[in-house]
Structure 1
Amino acid sequence: MTAQPTTTPAAVIAAAHDFGEREAVADGDVRLTFTQLHDRVRDFAAALCARGVQPGEHVAIWSPNTFHWVIAALGVHYARATLVPINTRYTATEALDIVERTKAAVLVVAGMFLGTDRYATLRDESSTLDLPTVVRVPVDGGDVERPGVLDFDDFLALATDDTRAAADRRARAVDAEDIADVMFTSGTTGRSKGVLSAHRQVVGIARAWADCAEVTADDNYLVINPFFHTFGYKAGILVCLLTGATVVPMAVFDVPKVMATVHDEHITVLPGAPTIFQSILDHPDRSRYDLSSLRIAVTGAAAVPVALVERMQSELSFEAVLTAYGQTEAVVITMCRTDDDPVTVSTTSGRAIPGMEVRIGERGEILVRGENVMLGYLDDPEATARTIESDGWLHTGDVGVLDERGYLDITDRLKDMYISGGFNVYPAEVENALARLDGVAESAVIGVPDERMGEVGRAYVVAKPGTSLTEDDVIAFGKKHLAGFKVPRTVRFVDSLPRNPSGKVMKNILREEKSS
């Protein structure tokens, strides 16, 4: 085996050397060995060089889980550029904000996907959009030719011997401290923040996750978690790259398709939100599929009942079910281990992974410090200073307790954030959007329990006098301007919002009546 890499280009090269003709990616009819993956990644990087992309420039990817995402993301790193994943559930307004703030030199974007041409919506949102290079990923088919847009294969064809050599030089020059990516996560101010991570952190997180989950080259890893999320990208693609496991991407979650894929691809590793496993267990056609290959499950982002863990092990044959805790600013903080019992898995989020420390600060806030804490927020030193203390402790905004073993139980959130379907939702962002709706005087959004999604949004709206605003009006406006998981499911109209003496909305009062 070669020395452990500290950058993703080094990991790509090492994987081609160590795992060679083993299968790296299995996406339907497309099968890539680690050698072939290296060649495709190298070509993508060479094409970036051919288009004049410079080291450190930003390349955005707005596309679902397919083999193209794997090639593009690793190719961006290979060219010593910086990756900017964009949530596929984002509206054009939200995506445009990220493209403009990062000054992206390249956009890799899905063609027709779920009935939407994302690049067309982006152009409709901004007639002055200036993107030097646009690469289109074929997903659903039926794509319309657009001036200046290169199809994915045509883009790869731009690679020449000279630009491949240039890409190789850049790959070797990537330093462990170079910025690998900018991962956007909403902030409590209502505007998304770009979290900066170095290559050593990206690789380190993947290695720690792989070690805790005991992933090996014999594993087939079904990645349902979106690649635009750290769970799918760093704890998915990169885990497989480091271990020699096979990435099996899934673009759209569908329970029968998940079961069929587990059956056909002999899936052994299946992470996801608890609802995924509950849906499989309860599906009437489960017995039609052979799911006995399943070995490791990693879940979190919502409560995990002990009974669910026990059923996953007894009925789905998982050898181990793990829970984990993290956030974009630190990716993975704590994680269970394969020998933890169902009660530990259900009632805790595990203990600190190697290289990370956890302590409980004032008001019970979870503070973390270590190798994988972000470098900071993009172009926002003030927010960085507020979040990370001078001695390195990151304020998570979550409340929890540590037991005598060092296992963490998350009990509450200092921030108003709630989790819907595995995605963080920050009410301030939703409230800022609703403020643009004519007839809304003010609003407050909280998360309320939902059997399928974990939590969904409820908006408390104070309407302006003389308006005839309805719940349907508010929800329709949200659907137009926000990603689906952020849109409130219910709306309560109130005469006023409860406030403390300083004028801050007391959401605790709203939460007390949320079940009514």
Structure 2
Amino acid sequence: MGTFTLEPKTEHGVSRSEVLKQFRYFLKVFRDADLLESQGPKDQAQALKVLYRWGAMETGALANAARRHPDRLGLVDDEGELTFAEFWEASCRLALGLQARGIKGGSHVAVLARNGRPSILPLTCRHLLGFHIFMVNANSSARQIERLLEFHKIDCFIIDEEFLDKLTERGAQRKIILGYTENEHPEYETLNNVIDSAKVTDELPFRPPRGKHVVMTSGTSGDPKGVIRRTVSSPQGLASVLSGVPWEQGLVVMLTAVLFHAFGWSNLMMALQTSSTTVARRIFDPAQALEDIQRYKINAMATAASRIRAMHSYFTEHGVTHVPGMKFIVSAGSPLTKYEVQHTNELFGEVLCNFYGSTETACLAAARPEQLAADPTLTGEVYPGEVIEIRDDDGNLVPEGEIGRIWAGCYDMFVGYTDADIEIPTINGLINMGDRGYLSDGGRMLHVLGRADDLVITQFGEKIFPGELEDSLMRMDGVADVYAHGVTDPAFGQALRVYIIPKEGQRPSEDEVKEFVKTRLSDAHVPREVFFVDDFPRNPMGKVMKRYLPEKSTI
């Protein structure tokens, strides 16, 4: 890795006119959404004091929620339940405990933890001290973590017990605090130890510096990149979120999107801003999800396509045909298939939204439930202030409706990378999203077809995205789950391979699968190979990790 920085000099972004256009749009959307909770002039004055001291991010949002709704359930995780008052107290005590251990404004704190208190409390207390937080991707290897900790000059590392085998001797040469743990490790303090030992008579700084929030990428092609999220002076980037997702005060939100990704973090932020209860389990399990929905009367969900698909299979197997009470389900991370959209709306009602963005950007496009139900191929509407262009492989703009690479930008996109030597290619200030898609309806509607390198050109010369096969095969009897991708072919350059998890006792044959695809789609879509497996190797977000798939059937 190269030169460490938290103040990179970059040239990406959108024009001032786009920023002003979005700000005006945000004022209208925020007014119409009626999200500004106020209990009178005294409450407004107190809220402004909180914002002045800790800002409008996690810390300030939680402080106001705890002040207004101390007895409302604030957080549910694998360690139990916290009211908003208890949630706020735990955050304050963690800050006091960290301060007693030398953490202060400008310190570097890394977190490698699944959803729950070990990932949430460091986020909600970071502005109490002003430390910089580095959220580590759970896919990172031991070598990557060692280099990451050294390069980013980490002072304190909060890590769940299950990841201890990734902690090398060099990596452990800093303050280590265990997050979630089920066993005794006397050589390490735990997060609960730090909280319980805090001296409440100590004082926290009145107005600490605003620490940076760094999201680490998975590093599948090398060392993880540190994406520095922008500390914005205006919340206007929420305009597209509020336009596409019907957030309101006092929801009960199931957060299955992981918190070391920007999407999970942004939905935690929205839950805190709306004084909504957050239900965040460490491991996604559809049986636990159904139990939580019923027990806590969950009425909103932030999730991913893979989680949705897992719920479909489990609910179908257990005779669940309808789950009432949901106000919205917002998905991101990978394109939804038509089948997933339709089946989700059958189970929960017309509530499914889609969110498109990346760690480097923010929400670039969002599809409201009625839009997605009417057109399941829609990724989202591009709202004022979000700029998306479709270009060919040479960087030239393509006509509306033509498929190309997606370039995008917005006001609250990332500052840059923590490695100042990483180049960020731009065109007109926009960055390459790594996806292919097209625009419609005068450039207002975005359709994402898949990752740019997912495109497969078969022996028929047809350009095919694997998602087309997945959508079709999910409708086939005997198929519980499916994953498709392109492979090299010695005769034709590229071909398609399909992996299927069959339903118990209903496995179709390879020939039946190929005939189904041929009949439903075309000869060009027929996979060269069909493999049957018990399960897919997935990352913590639930995405299939292609490189770990077997080269043959395993069942």
TM-score (ref. length: structure 1): 0.72
Aligned to 1:156: 195
CA deviations over 1:139-160 (Å, ceiling 9, x no partner): 4x123321xx212221113433
Once residues 76 and 218 of structure 2 are traced to their aligned partners in structure 1, the CA distance between those partners, rounded to angstroms, is 32
Aligned to 2:293: 262
Tell me which of 347, 358, 377 is aligned to 2:377. 347
Q: Report the 3-state secondary structure (helix = DSSP H, G, I; strand = E; otherwise coil) of the residue aligned with 2:447.
A: strand
Instruction: Please say if 1:332 is aligned against 2:370.
Output: no
Aligned to 2:248: 216
Aligned to 1:402: 439
Q: Report the 3-state secondary structure (helix = DSSP H, G, I; strand = E; otherwise coil) of the residue aligned with 1:165.
A: coil
In structure 2, give the amino acid aligned to 1:410: V
CA deviations over 1:162-203 (Å, ceiling 9, x no partner): 64333xx2xx3444xx52x11122568633211101232896
Structure 2's unaligned 5+ residue stretches are 1-37, 39-46, 394-403, 456-464, 471-484, 486-492, 502-538
Tell me which of 127, 130, 139 is aligned to 2:169. 127
Tell me the CA shift for residue 212 of structure 1: 2.8
Once residues 182 and 419 of structure 1 are traced to their aligned partners in structure 2, the CA distance between those partners, rounded to angstroms, is 32
Contact 1:209 1:239 in 2 (8 A): no
Instruction: Please say if 1:195 is aligned against 2:195.
Output: no
Instruction: Please say if 1:488 is aligned against 2:525.
Output: no
In structure 1, give the amino acid aligned to 2:405: E
Contact 1:45 1:76 in 2 (8 A): yes
Q: Report the 3-state secondary structure (helix = DSSP H, G, I; strand = E; otherwise coil) of the residue aligned with 2:363.
A: coil
Tell me which of 240, 243, 258 is aligned to 2:271. 240
- Pick which of 127-136 and 186-195 moved more: 186-195
Contact 1:7 1:200 in 2 (8 A): no
Once residues 35 and 302 of structure 1 are traced to their aligned partners in structure 2, the CA distance between those partners, rounded to angstroms, is 36
Counterparts of residues 72-471 of structure 1 (less than 5 Å): 72-111=122-161, 113=162, 118-119=163-164, 121-123=165-167, 126-139=168-181, 141-146=182-187, 149-161=188-200, 163-166=202-205, 169=206, 172-175=207-210, 179=212, 181-186=213-218, 190-200=222-232, 208-209=240-241, 212-235=244-267, 237-283=268-314, 284=316, 286-287=318-319, 291-314=323-346, 316-344=347-375, 346-353=376-383, 355-363=385-393, 364-384=404-424, 386=425, 388=426, 392-404=429-441, 406-414=444-452, 449-450=498-499
Over the matched positions of the two proteins, sequence identity in percent amounts to 18
Q: Cα gap change, 1:327/1:407 in structure 2, threshold over 3 Å: closer, same or farther?
A: same
Q: Report the 3-state secondary structure (helix = DSSP H, G, I; strand = E; otherwise coil) of the residue aligned with 2:359.
A: coil
Once residues 104 and 70 of structure 1 are traced to their aligned partners in structure 2, the CA distance between those partners, rounded to angstroms, is 19
Aligned to 2:523: none
Aligned to 1:40: 90
Tell me the CA shift for residue 135 of structure 1: 1.3
Tell me the CA shift for residue 394 of structure 1: 2.0
Tell me the CA shift for residue 20 of structure 1: 3.1
Q: Cα gap change, 1:201/1:303 in structure 2, threshold over 3 Å: closer, same or farther?
A: farther
Tell me the CA shift for residue 100 of structure 1: 2.1
CA deviations over 1:443-490 (Å, ceiling 9, x no partner): x999965457xxxxxxxxxxxxxxxxxxxxxxxxxx9xxx99364314
Q: Report the 3-state secondary structure (helix = DSSP H, G, I; strand = E; otherwise coil) of the residue aligned with 2:225.
A: strand
Contact 1:77 1:83 in 2 (8 A): no
Once residues 220 and 386 of structure 2 are traced to their aligned partners in structure 1, the CA distance between those partners, rounded to angstroms, is 25
In structure 2, give the amino acid aligned to 1:232: G
What is the aligned length? Answer: 420
Once residues 94 and 129 of structure 1 are traced to their aligned partners in structure 2, the CA distance between those partners, rounded to angstroms, is 10
TM-score (ref. length: structure 2): 0.67
Contact 2:386 2:408 in 1 (8 A): yes
Contact 2:105 2:208 in 1 (8 A): no
In structure 2, give the amino acid aligned to 1:489: L
Tell me the CA shift for residue 339 of structure 1: 3.1
Once residues 454 and 338 of structure 2 are traced to their aligned partners in structure 1, the CA distance between those partners, rounded to angstroms, is 27
Contact 1:65 1:249 in 2 (8 A): yes
Q: Cα gap change, 1:445/1:11 in structure 2, threshold over 3 Å: closer, same or farther?
A: farther
Once residues 496 and 216 of structure 2 are traced to their aligned partners in structure 1, the CA distance between those partners, rounded to angstroms, is 21
Counterparts of residues 19-38 of structure 1 (less than 5 Å): 19-27=69-77, 30-38=80-88
CA deviations over 1:399-448 (Å, ceiling 9, x no partner): 22111151111235445799999xxxxx9xxxxxxxxxxxxxxxx99996
Contact 2:110 2:134 in 1 (8 A): yes
Contact 2:140 2:224 in 1 (8 A): no
Q: Report the 3-state secondary structure (helix = DSSP H, G, I; strand = E; otherwise coil) of the residue aligned with 1:294.
A: coil
RMSD in angstroms over aligned alpha carbons?
Answer: 3.6
CA deviations over 1:214-267 (Å, ceiling 9, x no partner): 2223321111122212222222x2111111111101111222111111111111
Q: Report the 3-state secondary structure (helix = DSSP H, G, I; strand = E; otherwise coil) of the residue aligned with 1:45.
A: helix
Q: Report the 3-state secondary structure (helix = DSSP H, G, I; strand = E; otherwise coil) of the residue aligned with 1:365.
A: strand
Contact 1:50 1:158 in 2 (8 A): no
Q: Report the 3-state secondary structure (helix = DSSP H, G, I; strand = E; otherwise coil) of the residue aligned with 2:548.
A: coil
Q: Report the 3-state secondary structure (helix = DSSP H, G, I; strand = E; otherwise coil) of the residue aligned with 2:232.
A: helix
